[in-house]
Structure 1
């Protein structure tokens, strides 16, 4: 009799699991919220509820319950198993748990990225250190580089891996997801346009006792809060829909993220973070940007020397096509001073009264 009861018990468990698995194939909007929450352990129920309440309606129709369940399970695993996983619920819900940043294709990257990237950061002592390691390593590991020849701007991580190329937007999506996969709060930041209309840019912020920024695929050795774009960002305009700087969030706000690749789409929320970047502005200095191109107009990495007043001397390399289209060799120099730029046989002297972009053809 005892053996019969055991067999019956196994049968009930097995058939129950089969039933549950079949339900997990349904779209999220075909299941009751309480039913979805019931699939996760007690310590994950608040997170699942938050996801269900904050995910965009389109995702509820297109994503399966299994997708959401897998995302939740591995987000909590990373949160609980990393030294920097002591962030509060609010930061975890908004910047670790989400499976997307904006409108990128929904890839089920969570487990894959955890298994790929956790081993390279497991010895890091902080989220700051781990984020630096990720930015210095993941793009080579997955075989993705920056290129304006990428298929589209808003590629998902797997779309970028398939193409081997990505824009600053696609690179940022990938670094954010890599950070989130190992429990680092991360968010998408960008501006629709620099103040001088020279273009747009996207980058990443991570949380470690405050927000820190970095350009995806643009590491500055082992440091955050540095980048070629700080001078441009310092002149952004707070509250301006075109010239402001915005960070994406799943939390409902009164601002929509201005996606320059999909203008007019008011679906994804944002916070205005312009003032954080205005601190880099020094009104006594002006940016001199130097761009070296060949006869076909392609940027080249060439040795550049700049000399000027007060015995100023600088030697560096111009940026090639592997760098962001707006990333040029940049010097912040005293306003009103004169400087001479030399590249091979080219030589030009200027008085720097306003921001300059010097294009040199070789």
Structure 2
């Protein structure tokens, strides 16, 4: 029986719900984990509007078990409807890709916080405040400058707990950097701004942990929650510390939360037993400080993808100039890293290079001549050939 047929029967013998092929198996598995709350999840899937069904299916497919077993159909239906309304009404809607909307506007949660029904309230409070903003960055700065004063909330180590929900923070008037970040993320999402919690379990100098916020404005940009730098993003007191992150050291790396399931979990220092908060490793974007490229040099990125599994692969890449002289080497990014984070080198514009890409006993040799700044060379697993064994 196909995934589609199985799911249609699981939902209701009288109602057929169209399910995207890539989500069908995950939704079937999610329903089996919902326990006694399964009728609520099925109802949410059945009743979602046609133009919002993809979003509901996405939420269910990647939903933590605690939510599958507790959230009501009404909670989910209202959340999805309001998320689509805010996104479609935003002046920047056309600049927000579908996958960014699904993973960073639509979700009702960030980490393991209590599941509050914040979206309608926050949309009503803040939509007029940002309706004349021309960019997401401008709207984010306005929210960061105003919402904490409005709620009379400030940072304090005396907050009730680290992982507060937005209304727990508003009630307490005090929050950790994580609680402040959750509140700002929810305010952003309520008006159609893609936002996510970012943080490190421990700075590389062992001075403590920290959380902050990233928003999508044709690329990810960061800001400290309740720590606005005027109208500027990508400026914060912690920039220097973030630049020393250690990507391959779990406790010293920087992670961004992903509602969509990934191979990594976000290291929650207040409860290390939780593994259902997914993440991508974004350390490289903070450690690769901006630098002025020499004349004639451009940034060129590389990735290897497995089209069947719809994922990126970590492959060893060596680059030589056409004389055979070694130039650069590195490892392409896999699904542990942000989808927009690629292995990047600075190469001479218009000069030819020979590439040697190796993954799991296979290789690809290719000559490139990069001409355009920011180009991403995409290689596919099916293009690789077995490496001949030495006699």
Instruction: Give me the TM-score of the superposition, normalised by structure 1.
Output: 0.69
1:42 aligns with one of 35, 44, 50: 50
Cα distance in 2 between the residues matched to 1:108 and 1:257: 23
Larger mean CA deviation between 39-48 and 222-231 belongs to 39-48
1:76 maps to which residue? 84
CA-to-aligned-CA distance 1:223-251 (integer Å, 9 cap, x gap): 00000001111111002110000001011
What SS does the aligned partner of 2:196 have? strand
What SS does the aligned partner of 1:113 have? helix
Please give the residue correspondences for 1:64-213 in structure 2 after superposition, counting only pairs within 5 Å: 64-86=72-94, 87-213=96-222
Q: Which structure has the larger Rg over C-alpha atoms?
A: 1
- For residue 71 of structure 1, report the CA deviation from its aligned partner: 0.5
- For residue 67 of structure 1, report the CA deviation from its aligned partner: 0.7
Verify the 8 A CA contact 2:79 2:119 in the aligned structure 1. yes
Please give the residue correspondences for 1:6-21 in structure 2 after superposition, counting only pairs within 5 Å: none
Cα distance in 2 between the residues matched to 1:111 and 1:188: 20
Cα distance in 2 between the residues matched to 1:28 and 1:43: 28
The question of 1:249 aligning with 2:258 is answered yes
Instruction: Give me the TM-score of the superposition, normalised by structure 2.
Output: 0.64
2:70 maps to which residue? 62
Cα distance in 1 between the residues matched to 2:181 and 2:130: 19
Cα distance in 2 between the residues matched to 1:281 and 1:122: 32
What SS does the aligned partner of 1:31 have? helix
Please give the residue correspondences for 1:238-317 in structure 2 after superposition, counting only pairs within 5 Å: 238-280=247-289
Verify the 8 A CA contact 1:171 1:216 in the aligned structure 2. yes
What SS does the aligned partner of 2:256 have? strand
- For residue 264 of structure 1, report the CA deviation from its aligned partner: 3.3
What SS does the aligned partner of 2:85 have? helix
Verify the 8 A CA contact 1:28 1:65 in the aligned structure 2. no
Cα distance in 2 between the residues matched to 1:181 and 1:121: 11
Verify the 8 A CA contact 1:235 1:281 in the aligned structure 2. no
Cα distance in 1 between the residues matched to 2:191 and 2:36: 25
Which consecutive unaligned segments of at least 5 residues does structure 2 have?
1-33, 292-391
What SS does the aligned partner of 2:251 have? coil
CA-to-aligned-CA distance 1:126-153 (integer Å, 9 cap, x gap): 1111001000111011111111111111
- For residue 32 of structure 1, report the CA deviation from its aligned partner: 7.1
- For residue 273 of structure 1, report the CA deviation from its aligned partner: 0.2
* CA RMSD, Structure 1 to Structure 2 (Å): 1.7
Cα distance in 1 between the residues matched to 2:132 and 2:39: 40
Larger mean CA deviation between 248-257 and 26-35 belongs to 26-35
What SS does the aligned partner of 1:38 have? helix
